[in-house]
Structure 1
Amino acid sequence: MGGMQVVTTHSHCSFLKNFLTGAVFTLPLVYILLHSIPSSFLSYTNLAAFQAHRTSTSPPLPPPPQAWQQCDYTTGKWVWDGSVSGRRYDSENCDMVSAEKCVINGKPDNGYLNWRWQPAGCNLSALDPAEFLRAVRGKLLGFVGDSTARNQAESLVCFLSTVSRPETTHQYEDHPMAHKFWRWVFPAPHNVSVSTYWSPFLVRAEGRSVDYAMTHDTLFLDAFTEPWTADVEAMDVMVISAGHWFNHQAVYYDNGQIAGVFARPDVNETDIAGGYIGAYREVIRRVLEYVQEKSSGDKHKLVVVSTMAPAHFDPKYASNHRDACSRPNPYDEGEVPADGGTGEVHESGAPSEMRKAVLEEAAAAAKRQRLGLRFDVLDVARLASGRADGHPGAYIVKDRYGAGKPVPETVFNDCLHWCAPGPVDTFNDIFMHILAASG
């Protein structure tokens, strides 16, 4: 196969307009209402300043063991591990959205911290923050997509902060969603930068994604003018995580013409080919082609596309009911609902079809890749589907209800994002192995 590397998918080695419109559709409003500015906010530090201090002499990690290379991390189960001491890090001292600080916010069932993902044929070691920082010394890591990308990045940064305290800087202050762009810079000897880029559709979008007062979005499938595109050439590692916004009402443009619509009966146009899942696949394909085009030269780059981890809104309850996601334990084997445990407003079979789109488009990109550029998949869709217990739920604000007081029946819930620490840390365990395999 020469210098060509095939994609690894971890199927072998490397994973409110109102509430009733759709539970996930409401969550961004919860997010913007509850978003807290990190305590260590500093003035904007531009990318050039970081690059001036970065080093290109980071030592490569040793090759991963052969047994790990053959492991299927998508097949396994969540096991209770009494030896797990609990929190990997103290989120109270981390710069992250307050809604994910479940322990600090009083989530009572902290057993979610003791479940460990056990692959069927191998073991998954926990991320070592010191080793991770050594592996990415002098590198720029970009997490691009919706708030699930941010969720994972914040979890990672929080854990790494146990080794080295980063400076938190603000990006794109003129952007209408400026509070969603952050960069953490770990000082020497690490010289590591981790950035988040709010881009829920990955391509240019106007509407609800930048103004929550609006009810729909307009997407431009051929317009790569999102902030992440300005930094894509500089990124050494790029993690793409998006999908939850694609089942929203939308009009799609391509080459200056309307290419179709989704859930817009008020617009006299045909539906987009393949529905929103078809649009999602097309976006993933074009984004990977764009990244490849912008990654010419001898620069080594790892591009990781994440499959969509589901939300868990219990269909027995309204999304604003206190028990919308109050389950204390993971689903047992064979218990995950047919919709993947999402409880979301999706077409039948959508979670698996969206996963399939990522796997197939990443594999196609791998066949086109050049030496030094690697595409991989962080396939978390299946393992995350069992963790209905790992969301903040009603506990999205510290001391929201008062000590000893019951949770009211009607509340805002977050059943999409993950508690941190929590299941999201497993995503980063696998991410660490992807880095190791990339050399």
Structure 2
Amino acid sequence: MGRLGIVVGVKIIIIYFHLLQREAIAAEAIVNELLFHGRWVYDDSNNYPLYNSSDCPFLQDEFNCIANGRPDNFYLHYSWQPFSCNLPRFDGEDLLKRLKGKRMMFVGDSLSLNQWQSLTCMLHKAVPHAKYSLNRQGSLSTFTFPEYNVSLLLSRNVFLVDLISEEKGKVLKLNSIRDGVIWKEIDVLIFDTWHWWLHTGRKQPWDYIEDGKNTYRDMDRLVAYEKALETWATWVNLNVDPTKAVVFLQGVSPDHLNSSDWGDWSNKTCESETQPVADTKYLPTTTHPGEVILEKVLNTMSFKPVYLLKVTELSQLRKDGHPSVYGYGGRQGMDCTHWCLPGVPDTWNQLLYANVLQKSGMQICFSTSSTANNINLITIFNFTCIYFCSVISLSILFIYF
């Protein structure tokens, strides 16, 4: 009977740790939700922006709106304030120390470039005297801080799945990821894909779509997007060790091409917009269709957790944050898709930093309301119940066996 008691006791301990792990993941998810719901607050102190474009000599022209002649600077001074928490202040040197000896890679389209450039500028501002190197080789860019042995990489792959040139033309293969070879052994991965899925006509980069053994001229874009994300999810499940790597999936970054989206019926674009959307009633009443698919695919994954950076809602409010005519094309172009730097992607990276802090066990949701306090109390209560139930169960076993 003694051996039976030991076996049962071990099983109870294993169940106890699984329950604790599940509770920790659930608590983490709730805190993440709190961080992404809030409002933009104007801050004319020295706190914002987190850097100036002049502090960042490697900032690319298309994001450098001030250098391109943008006359207003209000957009530089808005900070994100969650309703129920205080977002941790970004500490670039602390992040570099936490990443010491590691590699962080952004994988995606030009919005990944936007975010990668933002983070390199934020870190350079934090340690302005630290040496750095910037190397671009094909679709891979590497920014390194040798003193900290930290590399920030950008891998351009707009669909996450393969786009292959064949004799018949360019084929988008929904079930294939060759680039995954360079994603392996990366410590922190941030994936992003959305905007290129909607391009048509000259901007459509493929001639055919291949799904399994079937080839099509075109197909429902949302269906293709979901199939590609399922392929990506399978790759992550099979190739990423959750004890060694952290995986983020960037939420959909919205554009502001039609002013009716924020209650202005004059059919304008984002040009001349100088303030965020003031009234949240103009936000869509339903979740962005791309975001719906992201969450659906994440819920099917065995790799737990992939952190979803839910930047869609907070970014939808920032109609003022785009280059418009102050991007790379100047007056010849209109960019209501990418973001000026400094700007909105800096907040995405603040949220990324908050998640890194949380992953290390630090409490990041410093309460500004009873909501976060209630969540903390519930979490403590659940942990306590699990602990004492396990202790009682083991005590009974020792008594009777």
Q: Answer whether TM exceeds 0.5 for this pair.
A: yes
Give the aligned partner of residue 416 of structure 1: 337
Cross-structure match for 1:309:
253
Aligned position for 2:76: 113
8 Å CA contact 1:166–1:187 kept in 2: the answer is: yes
Counterpart contact for 1:9–1:359, Cα < 8 Å: no
8 Å Cα contact 2:259/2:269 also seen in 1 = no
Name which of structure 1's ranges 76-85 and 147-156 shifts more when overlaid on structure 2: 76-85
CA distance in 1, matches of 2:62, 2:229: 29
- The equivalent position to 1:363 in structure 2, one of 299, 305, 316, is 299
Match 2:152 to one of 179, 194, 198: 194
Change (3 A) 1:436 1:316: closer
Q: Could you say which residue in structure 1 is the equivalent of 2:44?
A: 82
Q: Distance in 2 between matches of 1:293 and 1:140?
A: 20
Alignment of 1:6-405 (within 5 A): 12-14=30-32, 72-92=34-54, 93-162=56-125, 163=127, 164-171=130-137, 178=138, 180-188=139-147, 190-206=148-164, 218-226=171-179, 229-249=180-200, 251-258=208-215, 260-262=216-218, 271=219, 275-296=220-241, 300-315=244-259, 324-334=270-280, 336=282, 338=284, 352-365=288-301, 368-369=302-303, 374-397=305-328
Which one-letter code corresponds to 2:318 in the other structure?
Answer: R
Q: Report how many residues are paired.
A: 325
Q: 1:181 to 1:221 in 2, by over 3 A?
A: same
TM-score, reference length from structure 1: 0.67
Q: Helix, strand or coil for the counterpart of 1:283?
A: helix
Distance 1:7 1:224, change over 3 A: farther
State the AA in 2 paired with 1:244.
H
Counterpart contact for 1:328–1:389, Cα < 8 Å: yes
Greater alpha carbon shift after TM alignment, 302-311 vs 356-365: 356-365
Distance change (3 Å), C-alpha of 1:322 and 1:99: farther
SS at match of 1:311: coil
Taking a change above 3 Å as real, the CA distance of residues 433 and 335 of structure 1, as seen in their structure-2 partners, is same
Equivalent residues of 2:143, 2:152 under 8 A apart: yes
Secondary structure of the equivalent of 2:229? helix
Question: Which SS does the other structure have where 1:246 is aligned?
Answer: helix
| In 1: Cα distance, 2:273 partner to 2:337 partner | 14
Are the structure 2 counterparts of residues 299 and 335 from structure 1 closer, same or farther at C-alpha, using a change threshold of 3 Å?
A: closer
Alpha carbons of 1:8 and 1:327: their partners in 2 closer, same or farther (altered >3 Å)? farther
CA displacement at 1:74 relative to structure 2: 2.4
State the alpha-carbon separation in 2 of the partners of residues 7 and 205 from structure 1: 35
By how many angstroms is 1:121 displaced? Answer: 0.8
CA distance in 1, matches of 2:97, 2:199: 41
Q: Matched residues in 2 for 1:293 and 1:110: separation?
A: 46
Separation (CA, whole Å) in 2 of partners of 1:217 and 1:91 = 38
Larger Rg: 2
Deviations 1:27-81 (A, max 9, x none): xxxxxxxxxxxxxxxxxxxxxxxxxxxxxxxxxxxxxxxxxxxx61222111112
Counterpart of 1:37 in structure 2 is none
Name the residue aligned to 2:353: 432
Q: d(CA) in 2 for partners of 1:253 and 1:155?
A: 35
**Offset at 1:306?**
0.8
Instruction: Note closer, same or farther for the CA distance 1:116–1:87 as it changes in structure 2 (3 Å cut).
Output: closer
What secondary structure sits across from 2:234 in the alignment? helix
Cα distance per residue 1:199-221 (max 9 Å; x no partner): 111100147xxxxxxxx963101
For 2:99, give the aligned amino acid.
Answer: V
Indicate how the Cα distance of structure 1 residues 98 and 8 shifts in structure 2: closer, same or farther if over 3 A, else same: farther
Question: Between Structure 1 and Structure 2, which shows a larger proportion of helix residues?
Answer: 2
Shift of 1:134: 1.1
Q: Secondary structure at the match of 1:161?
A: helix
Q: What code does the residue aligned with 1:225 have?
A: R
Kept in 2: contact 1:232–1:291 (CA 8 A): no
Tell me the secondary structure at the aligned position of residue 238 of structure 1: strand
What is the letter of the counterpart of residue 252 of structure 1? Answer: I
Compared CA separation, residues 97 and 424, structure 1 to 2 (3 A): same
CA RMSD of aligned residues (A): 2.9
Change (3 A) 1:121 1:160: same
Q: 1:314 to 1:429 in 2, by over 3 A?
A: same
CA drift of 1:10 comes to 8.2
How far residue 151 of structure 1 moved from its aligned partner, in angstroms, is 0.6
Equivalent residue letter for 2:189: M
